[in-house]
Structure 1
């Protein structure tokens, strides 16, 4: 399987995040990608597709914020990384906001996703890795892998969150549509629900979103991912959420994935974008499922057996010492 990664994706390295009521070391560290690279061997450098595919999904004002916020933060006398501290409960109306503190809250959903001077560059090349994996699949490969770091599925059209700044899965799905693919599915099998991806396609009838994740009654992102969320308007019925209890092991996870794959097949898709998170592993420090390393090959084999071309994108997974083996197991399953 061809794999894509750019070393510039390592530059994003915030010093801390606000988690569970206090400051803690940032969990989405560059060592995650380094561990995966050591386990899977060589990767290809992605081609540069420019900003146009990104702008097809994300709002222009939000992209400007990602690029300029760190410099504006420092210019206003702040130190360290850009982190918001005030968030609107509801975005009732458009506002013209100039103060960087207000913008940091407007364009984020949590205090766990800081911006550094390198965040835009790393997120940009994470997207380019995903788009290059799509190129490989459109050219005839059965599957391709993008080591997307930072991850993407919590980022909405105009907000960051959950360590995510640009939503690579959404950008890749939209690029596939723009490339002539009539129907696309996103299968999200990260421990946490991909709220940003769901939001982006909530009213769309051409992209099916299926997510298997921890019940948001107990886990981040809390406000998205409940079983009754199924899309609206033209997107009614094109969102499928399958929340599972903490402690879930292979058998119930595999059954939920089979249900998601059945729904994807019924939708008549031509390409599946897999948002793969290895934070479902039994020893992940911020998650509570109980999958084991060999389980990932089984889950991937079930996906591959459906015979659909797959673009596999890396999302979460924070047990660095085991992450390489877990990702390698998943890729081996194809």
Structure 2
């Protein structure tokens, strides 16, 4: 299995995240990727290939034009307004206020286009986000060309990004973009999200679509980010009714319950008539993850990969979360190895 990866991810390295009432080094940091790369190489998992430049057309197919323009200019505007540090939204659009007018002030713009203030924008964020999307595009092309599977080692991740908002460390929704690329080619597509946190952005993008099934295993939003989406009764709307499947689970969830949810999701993937599968590969369901509360162990990720392989579908793995830094490589590659060995 080829891995597609860009060194330009390093251009996005915020120095601060607001967590627990204080500024800390972000949990989503460049070193996450180094552990994954080291494990891929140690196990001889296949070639690691740099993508070419990102094609804007697939990005524009899932993103609002004004949002993309904001991402490109935000940091320059922030600095031009006299701000010394990184751009962190200070006033996110609240209930009861108007959303039909976008502020001209950069602080107001950030609040309009952001849904979670832990996510900072830096001088290199746009370039890094584009390189992440480029990796997903190159991996999607590899699968389209006939490969059984490919891995897009994306950073920054993407599944919390909606069509017009960033947050949860995400700016461009790489998995949704890749799914749209498959769907645009006429293939019935599923996005299976196994990240601990609900893929609110992916759900948002496909919620009224019948051709793209979204299935997500995640921490119950009553207790876990993103809090305001991911409940079991969210099944899609209009043409998309029934094409959205959420599996929210409580604190302490281990393999038995999590694996059963995966089995149920796999049943829905088969019933959907899926022809191409995109896996949002987050490994923060791990027992020692610092911002999650599931209890999966490393071997469970191997079993997850085996179950996914049993679908027999062309499969694109897209990297999402996982913040137990020293285990992120083992757990990520365990999924891929389980898939390859099945």
Question: Structure 2 length as normaliser, TM-score?
Answer: 0.95
The answer to whether residue 153 in structure 2 is matched with residue 147 in structure 1 is yes
Structure 1: 5+ residue stretches without partners:
none
Distance 2:62 2:34 in 1: 28
Distance 2:281 2:186 in 1: 24
Superposed CA deviations along residues 63-113 of structure 1, whole A, max 9, x for unmatched, are 111110101101101111111111112475421421001001000001111
Q: Secondary structure at the match of 2:49?
A: coil
Determine if contact 1:83/1:114 at 8 Å carries over to the other structure: yes
For structure 1, which segment, 156-165 or 34-43, has the greater mean C-alpha deviation from structure 2 after superposition?
34-43
CA shift in 2, pair 1:130/1:93, >3 Å: same
The answer to whether residue 331 in structure 2 is matched with residue 330 in structure 1 is no
Which residue, out of 259, 264, 267, partners 1:259?
264
Q: Secondary structure at the match of 1:311?
A: strand
Distance 1:191 1:45 in 2: 28
For structure 1, which segment, 238-247 or 14-23, has the greater mean C-alpha deviation from structure 2 after superposition?
14-23
Superposed CA deviations along residues 31-56 of structure 1, whole A, max 9, x for unmatched, are 00111111102511113342111000
Distance 2:170 2:83 in 1: 22
Q: Secondary structure at the match of 2:48?
A: coil
- How do 1:164-183 and structure 2 match up within 5 A? 164-181=170-187, 183=188
Distance 2:183 2:235 in 1: 21
Distance 1:333 1:96 in 2: 47
Distance 2:9 2:28 in 1: 12
For structure 1, which segment, 13-22 or 164-173, has the greater mean C-alpha deviation from structure 2 after superposition?
13-22
Which residue, out of 69, 84, 88, partners 1:64?
69
Distance 1:213 1:155 in 2: 16
Distance 2:15 2:85 in 1: 8
Which residue, out of 233, 238, 255, partners 1:233?
238
Distance 1:240 1:178 in 2: 22
The answer to whether residue 279 in structure 2 is matched with residue 281 in structure 1 is no
The answer to whether residue 203 in structure 2 is matched with residue 198 in structure 1 is yes
Equivalent residue number for residue 30 of structure 2: 30
Which runs of at least 4 in structure 1 moved beyond 6 Å after TM superposition? none
For structure 1, which segment, 132-141 or 153-162, has the greater mean C-alpha deviation from structure 2 after superposition?
132-141
The answer to whether residue 100 in structure 2 is matched with residue 94 in structure 1 is yes
Q: Secondary structure at the match of 2:92?
A: coil
Distance 1:210 1:150 in 2: 22
What is the CA RMSD across the aligned residues, in angstroms?
Answer: 1.1
Distance 2:185 2:124 in 1: 30
Superposed CA deviations along residues 125-179 of structure 1, whole A, max 9, x for unmatched, are 1111111111111111111101011100000000001000000011001111222
Equivalent residue number for residue 272 of structure 1: 277
CA-CA distance at 1:235 after TM superposition? 1.0
The answer to whether residue 57 in structure 2 is matched with residue 48 in structure 1 is no
CA shift in 2, pair 1:261/1:17, >3 Å: same
Q: Secondary structure at the match of 2:136?
A: helix
Determine if contact 2:119/2:168 at 8 Å carries over to the other structure: yes
Q: Secondary structure at the match of 1:333?
A: helix
Q: Secondary structure at the match of 2:333?
A: helix
Q: Secondary structure at the match of 2:108?
A: helix
Structure 2: 5+ residue stretches without partners:
42-46
For structure 1, which segment, 16-25 or 160-169, has the greater mean C-alpha deviation from structure 2 after superposition?
16-25
Determine if contact 1:11/1:30 at 8 Å carries over to the other structure: no
